[in-house]
Amino acid sequence: MKISLTDQNTAPVELDERIDARATRERYDLEREKRLRTDGVHQYSRLTDEFAELADDPWMPVVEREPVFDHVQFTFIGGGFAGLCAGAQLHKQGITDVRIIDGAGDFGGVWYWNRYPGAMCDTKSVVYMPLLDETGHIPTEKWVHGPELLEHAKRIGTQFDLYRKALFHTMATTVTWDEGHSRWIVETDRGDRFTTQFLGIGLGPLSVPKLPGIPGIEKFAGKSIHTARWDYSYTGGDAAGAPMEGLRDKRVGVVGTGATALQLIPEVAKYAKELFVFQRTPSTVAARNNGPLEAEAIELLSSGNGQERLLESFSVNWDGFIGQPAPGIEVEDLVNDGWTDLGRRMRAQIHSVPPEEFSMEAMMAAVGELDLMLMEERRNRIDEIVTDPKTAESLKPWYDLFCKRPGYHDEYLESFNRPNVHLVDTDGKGVSEITEAGAVVDGEEYPLDVIIYASGFEYGTGGSEYVKRAGFDLIGRDGTDLSEAWADGMETLHGMHVHGFPNMFIIQLFQGSFLGANVTQANNYAAQNLAAVVAQVLAEGNDEVEVSKEAQDAYVAMLLEFGQPFGRPDCTPGYYNDDGQPFGRSFQLNCGYPAGTVAFIKMIEQWCADKEFPELERRKSTNA
C-alpha cells in the first residue's frame, strides 16, 4: 500500500479506504499492552553509585578555585540557552551585574554535555538557535550539528558579557530567601556563599540522564557509555565527525531507539565491527532532508531582523496543532520543517469540520484520520528503504504519531541495510538482563564489548520532583521549601512566578508557552518576560516582587480546568505520558497555556508592554 502526503499543499485528507482504521487501532492497543509496566518512571535509575563515573565531565577538567563571597544583582542557575537568553535579555534592559552558574565547564547546557556522534538540532536551526538577529550568526545547515550549537552558546556568552561573573563546574546546594534583606543566599558545592537580589532558574527539560532499570546492569564487564557523556577516548573520533577507529574491532550494543538513537546509530554503524540495536519501541522516522541552509533563509537572516519573522511563522504554523483552531491567523510558512508541516496539516484537518458540526469528538475524529494516514506513510517508508522484510516489519511503529516525539533522519533506516547492523526486536519488553558478557533478550545472550545507553532523561517531573531534579533546596519566604510548596504539583503564574518565592523566576516549559518542538524559542520569550519584570521593579524603586496567592491560585485553577498535558494516557508508554501511569494532579499540571502558544505569547507581550503586572506585588525591603 503506497500512501503519500508529501505534497506541499496542505489540504485536509480523507481516510484512505485501504486503511482499516479499526484493525490498526486494535494493533495499537495490543502493542501498548506489551509495553505497560507497573513501575512506570521508577524503572529508571540515575548515573549514581557504580555508574557515578559515567556522570563525570568528559570535556573539561575541574580546576580548583577560591570560593566566592560577594553580591550580584541577578544570578541564574543553569548555563544552557535558558540562562543565556535571560542574561542577554537582562543585558538589553541595562542589567549587567549577572552571574550564571552551571555544573558544566562552560555554557551550552544540553549541547555542552551531549556530544555523541551525529548530534544535531531537531527543530530547524533558524528557529532553534536563539538570538540570531542579535548575534548576526547565520547557521550553516538547515539542522546544524552539535559543535555549531555549542559555539553559538559561547558566542552569546561572550557577546553579552556573561563569562565575567560566571561560575562553572559549580552546583547550587542550598538557596535561601533572606527575609528583610530582599535577596537570596546561594551556597554551592565549591564552598561559595554569595547573595543575589534576583534569582533565575532554568535547568532544561531534559538535563538529568537516566539509565534503564535492567537487572544486572552493574555487572557488565565491558565499557558502558551514556549518550549524554560520550567517551571519545574509548571510541576514537570526535564530535566534529572524525572516524571512530576505536570501534572497528568492537561488538557494540545500543539500548534505546528514541530521538538520540536515531542520530547516533548511523554514525556508530559506520565504524562498529558489529552493532546490535536493542529496540523496545520503534520511533517514527520521516525524511529530514538536511543540507546547507537555504538561500532564502540566508537572505532573510541577513536582513537583521529575519529571525523574528521566522519565529512568528514557526509558532503560528506549529501552534495549529497545539492550540485551538485559529481561523483568520494565517502566516506564510517560512520555516517549512517537519513541525510546521504537521501543524499546518492538523489545522487544515480541524478546519475541515463544518462549523455546524463542530465538537471535540468531530475534531478528534478528523485529526485521528490524518494521524492514521501519517503513520501508514511512515510504515511504508520503512518498506521502501529497509531491504530485509523481517527487520522492516520490526521497525514499524504502531501508535498515534504524537504518542512519541516524531522522528526525522536521512540515514537511520538505511543503517539497517548494512551487514554489520542487527536489530534485536525485544517485542516491547526491553533487554531482560545484562550479564558480565553482554545483553540478554528472550533467553539469548548477545556478547558485547561496549553498551551505549541511549535511554533518555528524566522528564515531566514537575511538582516536588522538579526540586529532586534540580539537585538543590530552594527555601523561600517563611522557610517553605519549593518541594513542599509543590508537593501536589507545580503551582505558578505563567510557569515562572511562584508565590512564597519573591524575586525568583523559573524558565521551563510547563504552564506557559510550552513549545514542545522548540524549547529555545520558549526560553527566549520567558527571558524577555523576566527581564521586563525586573526592569520595572527596579524602575519603580522597589526591591521585591512576588506573585500574589490569589493570582497564582486563579491561574492554577484555570490550568486544572482547561489545561492538557502533552501526552495521552492511552498512548504507548514513554516520557510524554508519565510512562503509561494514570495522570495524577501533578502530571495534569504539566500542561501549557490552554489557549495555545500564540495566545500565550500575545498575552505576555501585552502584559509586559502595559508594565502594570497587577498579579505581581511589589514592595520595598523592610530593612531599607
Rounded distance between C-alpha atoms, residue 257 and residue 386, angstroms? 16
Region of 253-261, 297-305, 365-373, 477-485 interacting with ligand NDP (CB under 6 A): 253-261
Q: Which of residues 31-60 bind ligand NDP (CB under 6 A)?
A: 35
- What percent of the chain is helix, strand and coil (3-state, nearest 5)? 40, 15, 45
Beta bridge partners of 616: 547
Among 99, 124, 226, 280, binds ligand NDP (CB under 6 A): 280
CA atoms within 13 A on the CB side of 513: 27
Answer yes or no whether residue 160 interacts with ligand NDP by CB under 6 A.
no
CB of 121 or CB of 239, closer to ligand NDP: 121
We find the least distance from the C-beta atom of residue 456 to ligand NDP, in angstroms, to be 3
Could you give the strand order of the β-sheet that contains 444-447, starting from the edge strand earlier in sequence? 433-434, 438-441, 444-447
Q: Which of residues 190-249 bind ligand NDP (CB under 6 A)?
A: 206, 212, 214
Among 88, 121, 186, 311, binds ligand NDP (CB under 6 A): 121
Beta-carbon contacts of residue 208 (< 8 Å; ≥ 6 apart): 46, 457, 458, 469
**Longest CA span, the chain:** 75
Region of 245-253, 275-283, 288-296, 342-350 interacting with ligand NDP (CB under 6 A): 275-283
Answer yes or no whether residue 120 interacts with ligand NDP by CB under 6 A.
yes
CB of 251 or CB of 288, closer to ligand NDP: 288
Answer yes or no whether residue 431 interacts with ligand NDP by CB under 6 A.
yes
Among 405, 494, 497, 499, binds ligand NDP (CB under 6 A): 405
Region of 118-126, 168-176, 312-320, 358-366 interacting with ligand NDP (CB under 6 A): 118-126
Question: Which is it for strands 450-453 and 223-226: parallel, antiparallel or unpaired?
Answer: parallel
Integer angstrom CA distances of residue 504 from 484, 533, 613: 16, 11, 15
The answer to whether 227 and 260 have CB atoms below 8 angstroms apart is: yes
Answer yes or no whether residue 257 interacts with ligand NDP by CB under 6 A.
yes
Rounded distance between C-alpha atoms, residue 107 and residue 25, angstroms? 45
Integer angstrom CA distances of residue 161 from 84, 95, 140, 532, 573: 10, 11, 25, 19, 43
CB of 120 or CB of 531, closer to ligand NDP: 120
Could you give the strand order of the β-sheet that contains 223-226, starting from the edge strand earlier in sequence? 223-226, 450-453, 251-255, 274-279, 421-425
Question: Which is it for strands 210-211 and 193-201: parallel, antiparallel or unpaired?
Answer: unpaired
Region of 453-461, 497-505, 558-566, 613-621 interacting with ligand NDP (CB under 6 A): 453-461
Q: Please report which helix (H) or strand (E) contains residue 450, including its range.
A: strand 450-453
CB of 263 or CB of 464, closer to ligand NDP: 263
User: Tell me, what amino acid is at 544?
Assistant: E
We find the least distance from the C-beta atom of residue 262 to ligand NDP, in angstroms, to be 7
Among 170, 235, 315, 455, binds ligand NDP (CB under 6 A): 455
We find the least distance from the C-beta atom of residue 522 to ligand NDP, in angstroms, to be 13
C-alpha cell read off for 210: 537516566
Rounded distance between C-alpha atoms, residue 538 and residue 505, angstroms? 15
We find the least distance from the C-beta atom of residue 227 to ligand NDP, in angstroms, to be 6
Among 184, 278, 446, 593, binds ligand NDP (CB under 6 A): 278
Question: Which is it for strands 45-46 and 71-77: parallel, antiparallel or unpaired?
Answer: unpaired
CB of 129 or CB of 350, closer to ligand NDP: 129
Region of 71-79, 114-122, 299-307, 326-334 interacting with ligand NDP (CB under 6 A): 114-122
Rounded distance between C-alpha atoms, residue 410 and residue 265, angstroms? 12
Size, binding site for ligand NDP by CB under 6 A? 27
We find the least distance from the C-beta atom of residue 603 to ligand NDP, in angstroms, to be 26
CA atoms within 13 A on the CB side of 540: 18
The answer to whether 323 and 596 have CB atoms below 8 angstroms apart is: yes
Among 78, 237, 456, 463, binds ligand NDP (CB under 6 A): 456
> What x/- string results for residues 321 through 350 when contact with ligand NDP is judged by CB under 6 A?
------------------------------
Beta bridge partners of 372: none
Question: Which is it for strands 274-279 and 172-178: parallel, antiparallel or unpaired?
Answer: unpaired
CB of 258 or CB of 502, closer to ligand NDP: 258
We find the least distance from the C-beta atom of residue 278 to ligand NDP, in angstroms, to be 5
Answer yes or no whether residue 403 interacts with ligand NDP by CB under 6 A.
no
Among 106, 122, 192, 411, binds ligand NDP (CB under 6 A): 122
CB of 378 or CB of 497, closer to ligand NDP: 378
Rounded distance between C-alpha atoms, residue 451 and residue 350, angstroms? 45
What sign does the CA torsion over 109, 110, 113, 119 have? negative
Among 170, 260, 503, 524, binds ligand NDP (CB under 6 A): 260
Among 281, 313, 349, 521, binds ligand NDP (CB under 6 A): 281
We find the least distance from the C-beta atom of residue 210 to ligand NDP, in angstroms, to be 8
CB of 59 or CB of 358, closer to ligand NDP: 59
Q: Give ∠ CA 284-462-537 in degrees, rounded to 5.
A: 120
Among 430, 460, 462, 567, binds ligand NDP (CB under 6 A): 430
Burial of 3 (0-12, 13-18, 19+ CB in 10 A): middle
Region of 195-203, 454-462, 467-475, 598-606 interacting with ligand NDP (CB under 6 A): 454-462
Rounded distance between C-alpha atoms, residue 122 and residue 117, angstroms? 15
CB of 230 or CB of 575, closer to ligand NDP: 575
Rounded distance between C-alpha atoms, residue 615 and residue 397, angstroms? 46
CA neighbor of 91 nearest in space, from 179, 184, 165? 165
CB of 197 or CB of 281, closer to ligand NDP: 281
Q: Which residues bind ligand NDP (CB under 6 A)?
A: 35, 120-122, 206, 212, 214, 255-261, 263, 278, 280-281, 405, 430-431, 454-457, 574-575
